[in-house]
Protein backbone atom coordinates (compact mmCIF):
# COMPACT_ATOMS: atom_id res chain seq x y z
CA UNK A 1 0.00 0.00 0.00
CA UNK A 2 1.50 3.34 -0.93
CA UNK A 3 1.66 6.25 1.51
CA UNK A 4 -0.73 8.49 -0.44
CA UNK A 5 -3.35 5.77 -0.52
CA UNK A 6 -2.97 5.18 3.23
CA UNK A 7 -3.17 8.91 3.94
CA UNK A 8 -6.30 9.17 1.75
CA UNK A 9 -8.01 6.39 3.67
CA UNK A 10 -7.08 7.95 7.02
CA UNK A 11 -8.42 11.32 5.81
CA UNK A 12 -11.70 9.62 4.86
CA UNK A 13 -11.90 8.24 8.39
CA UNK A 14 -11.48 11.79 9.77
CA UNK A 15 -14.10 13.14 7.33
CA UNK A 16 -16.54 10.43 8.38
CA UNK A 17 -15.90 11.30 12.04
CA UNK A 18 -16.54 15.00 11.38
CA UNK A 19 -19.73 14.12 9.51
CA UNK A 20 -20.94 12.02 12.45
CA UNK A 21 -20.18 14.88 14.84
CA UNK A 22 -22.14 17.26 12.61
CA UNK A 23 -25.28 15.34 13.50
CA UNK A 24 -24.77 16.02 17.22
CA UNK A 25 -26.58 19.01 18.60
CA UNK A 26 -24.75 21.89 20.12
CA UNK A 27 -26.20 25.08 21.52
CA UNK A 28 -27.06 26.45 18.07
CA UNK A 29 -28.96 25.30 15.01
CA UNK A 30 -27.11 23.58 12.17
CA UNK A 31 -28.40 22.02 8.96
CA UNK A 32 -26.13 19.04 9.69
CA UNK A 33 -28.36 18.21 12.64
CA UNK A 34 -31.00 16.81 10.27
CA UNK A 35 -28.51 14.98 8.01
CA UNK A 36 -29.19 11.54 9.54
CA UNK A 37 -33.01 11.89 9.22
CA UNK A 38 -34.45 9.47 6.67
CA UNK A 39 -37.94 10.14 5.26
CA UNK A 40 -40.36 7.52 3.94
CA UNK A 41 -40.99 8.90 0.45
CA UNK A 42 -42.39 7.29 -2.68
CA UNK A 43 -42.14 3.81 -1.16
CA UNK A 44 -38.52 4.09 -0.01
CA UNK A 45 -36.36 5.79 2.60
CA UNK A 46 -34.41 8.83 1.47
CA UNK A 47 -32.41 11.58 3.20
CA UNK A 48 -34.40 14.62 4.28
CA UNK A 49 -32.36 16.91 2.03
CA UNK A 50 -33.74 15.05 -1.01
CA UNK A 51 -37.36 15.99 -0.26
CA UNK A 52 -36.82 19.60 0.86
CA UNK A 53 -34.27 22.28 1.59
CA UNK A 54 -33.07 22.70 5.15
CA UNK A 55 -32.04 26.12 6.41
CA UNK A 56 -31.12 27.80 9.68
CA UNK A 57 -33.55 30.62 10.43
CA UNK A 58 -31.85 31.71 13.66
CA UNK A 59 -29.78 30.21 16.51
CA UNK A 60 -32.67 28.10 17.80
CA UNK A 61 -34.78 27.40 14.70
CA UNK A 62 -34.40 25.16 11.65
CA UNK A 63 -36.74 25.38 8.67
CA UNK A 64 -37.43 22.70 6.07
CA UNK A 65 -39.06 23.90 2.84
CA UNK A 66 -40.64 20.74 1.40
CA UNK A 67 -40.90 20.54 -2.38
CA UNK A 68 -43.83 18.09 -2.59
CA UNK A 69 -46.87 19.10 -0.51
CA UNK A 70 -47.77 15.43 0.00
CA UNK A 71 -44.49 14.81 1.85
CA UNK A 72 -45.09 17.25 4.74
CA UNK A 73 -46.60 14.58 7.02
CA UNK A 74 -43.81 12.07 6.26
CA UNK A 75 -41.13 14.68 7.01
CA UNK A 76 -42.83 15.66 10.27
CA UNK A 77 -43.05 11.99 11.33
CA UNK A 78 -39.42 11.26 10.36
CA UNK A 79 -38.11 14.19 12.41
CA UNK A 80 -40.21 13.21 15.45
CA UNK A 81 -39.00 9.58 15.27
CA UNK A 82 -35.34 10.45 14.60
CA UNK A 83 -34.36 10.30 18.28
CA UNK A 84 -33.07 13.88 18.17
CA UNK A 85 -35.68 15.07 20.67
CA UNK A 86 -37.21 17.58 18.25
CA UNK A 87 -40.86 18.61 17.84
CA UNK A 88 -41.47 20.00 14.35
CA UNK A 89 -44.38 22.33 13.53
CA UNK A 90 -45.85 22.03 10.02
CA UNK A 91 -47.12 25.21 8.36
CA UNK A 92 -48.17 24.58 4.76
CA UNK A 93 -45.14 23.22 2.89
CA UNK A 94 -42.78 24.52 5.57
CA UNK A 95 -41.79 22.61 8.68
CA UNK A 96 -40.32 24.70 11.49
CA UNK A 97 -38.18 22.94 14.07
CA UNK A 98 -37.54 24.91 17.26
CA UNK A 99 -34.52 23.65 19.19
CA UNK A 100 -35.10 23.39 22.92
CA UNK A 101 -32.37 24.38 25.37
CA UNK A 102 -29.96 21.55 26.11
CA UNK A 103 -29.95 20.41 29.72
CA UNK A 104 -26.69 19.61 31.51
CA UNK A 105 -27.54 15.88 31.43
CA UNK A 106 -28.31 15.97 27.71
CA UNK A 107 -25.01 17.76 27.04
CA UNK A 108 -23.12 15.03 28.93
CA UNK A 109 -24.95 12.34 26.92
CA UNK A 110 -23.97 14.10 23.69
CA UNK A 111 -20.33 14.18 24.79
CA UNK A 112 -20.45 10.42 25.46
CA UNK A 113 -21.80 9.87 21.94
CA UNK A 114 -19.08 12.13 20.50
CA UNK A 115 -16.41 10.15 22.37
CA UNK A 116 -17.86 6.92 20.99
CA UNK A 117 -17.61 8.33 17.46
CA UNK A 118 -14.02 9.38 18.17
CA UNK A 119 -13.07 5.91 19.39
CA UNK A 120 -14.62 4.33 16.29
CA UNK A 121 -12.53 6.68 14.15
CA UNK A 122 -9.34 5.88 16.11
CA UNK A 123 -9.98 2.14 15.71
CA UNK A 124 -10.49 2.64 11.97
CA UNK A 125 -7.18 4.51 11.70
CA UNK A 126 -5.36 1.86 13.73
CA UNK A 127 -6.81 -0.87 11.52
CA UNK A 128 -5.44 0.94 8.49
CA UNK A 129 -2.04 1.12 10.24
CA UNK A 130 -2.14 -2.61 11.00
CA UNK A 131 -2.93 -3.45 7.37
CA UNK A 132 -0.09 -1.21 6.15
CA UNK A 133 2.36 -2.76 8.63
CA UNK A 134 1.30 -6.25 7.51
CA UNK A 135 1.95 -5.28 3.88
CA UNK A 136 5.39 -3.91 4.80
CA UNK A 137 6.31 -7.13 6.69
CA UNK A 138 5.07 -9.25 3.78
CA UNK A 139 7.12 -7.21 1.28
CA UNK A 140 10.21 -7.62 3.45
CA UNK A 141 9.60 -11.35 3.84
CA UNK A 142 9.15 -11.73 0.08
CA UNK A 143 12.44 -9.90 -0.45
CA UNK A 144 10.83 -6.90 -2.23
CA UNK A 145 12.27 -4.42 0.29
CA UNK A 146 15.24 -4.44 2.65
CA UNK A 147 15.06 -4.49 6.44
CA UNK A 148 16.14 -0.82 6.58
CA UNK A 149 13.42 0.18 4.10
CA UNK A 150 10.92 -1.84 6.09
CA UNK A 151 11.87 -0.04 9.30
CA UNK A 152 11.76 3.37 7.57
CA UNK A 153 8.32 2.67 6.06
CA UNK A 154 7.01 1.37 9.39
CA UNK A 155 8.18 4.54 11.12
CA UNK A 156 6.43 6.71 8.51
CA UNK A 157 3.20 4.73 8.85
CA UNK A 158 3.38 5.14 12.65
CA UNK A 159 4.00 8.90 12.33
CA UNK A 160 1.03 9.22 10.00
CA UNK A 161 -1.15 7.22 12.40
CA UNK A 162 -0.11 9.38 15.36
CA UNK A 163 -0.88 12.54 13.36
CA UNK A 164 -4.39 11.37 12.43
CA UNK A 165 -5.21 10.12 15.93
CA UNK A 166 -4.12 13.52 17.25
CA UNK A 167 -6.46 15.15 14.71
CA UNK A 168 -9.35 13.03 16.00
CA UNK A 169 -8.51 14.12 19.57
CA UNK A 170 -8.39 17.80 18.55
CA UNK A 171 -11.70 17.65 16.67
CA UNK A 172 -13.30 15.85 19.63
CA UNK A 173 -12.01 18.43 22.12
CA UNK A 174 -13.41 21.26 19.97
CA UNK A 175 -16.80 19.52 19.73
CA UNK A 176 -16.91 18.93 23.51
CA UNK A 177 -16.28 22.64 24.12
CA UNK A 178 -18.99 23.47 21.58
CA UNK A 179 -21.49 21.11 23.24
CA UNK A 180 -20.83 22.43 26.75
CA UNK A 181 -21.13 26.07 25.67
CA UNK A 182 -24.36 27.47 27.11
pLDDT tens digits along 35-50? 778 888 888 888 888 8
- Find the Cα–Cα–Cα–Cα dihedral 27, 32, 37, 39, rounded to 10°: 130
Residues 3, 63: Cα–Cα separation, whole Å: 43
Read off the pLDDT band of 180 (50, 70, 90): confident
Give the pLDDT confidence of 93-128 residue by residue, as tens digits. Answer: 899 988 877 788 878 888 888 899 999 999 999 999
The mean pLDDT of 144-162, rounded to a whole number, is: 93
Per-residue confidence (pLDDT) for residue 9, from 0 to 100: 93
The more confidently predicted of residues 67 and 82 is 67
Decide: 118 and 83 in contact? Cβ < 8 Å: no
By percentage, how much of the chain surpasses pLDDT 90? 37
For the purposes of burial, counting CB atoms within 10 Å of the CB of 1, is it exposed (0-12), middle (13-18) or buried (19 or more)? middle
In the chain, the domains with their CATH numbers are 3-21+103-180 (1.10.132.20), 28-98 (3.30.1360.40)
So what's the pLDDT on residue 15? 92
Answer yes or no: are the C-beta atoms of 61 and 87 closer than 8 Å. Answer: no
DSSP assignment letter at 180 = H
For residues 80 and 158, the model is more confident at 158
The strand ranges marked E within 33-175 are 38-41, 44-47, 52-58, 61-66, 89-91, 94-98
Of 138 and 59, which is predicted with more confidence? 138
Amino acid sequence: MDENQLQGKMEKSIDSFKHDLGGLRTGRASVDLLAPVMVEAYGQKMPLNQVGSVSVTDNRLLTVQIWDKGMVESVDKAIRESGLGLNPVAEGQTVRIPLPELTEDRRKELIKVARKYAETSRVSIRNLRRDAMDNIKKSQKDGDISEDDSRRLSDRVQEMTDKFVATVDTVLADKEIDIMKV
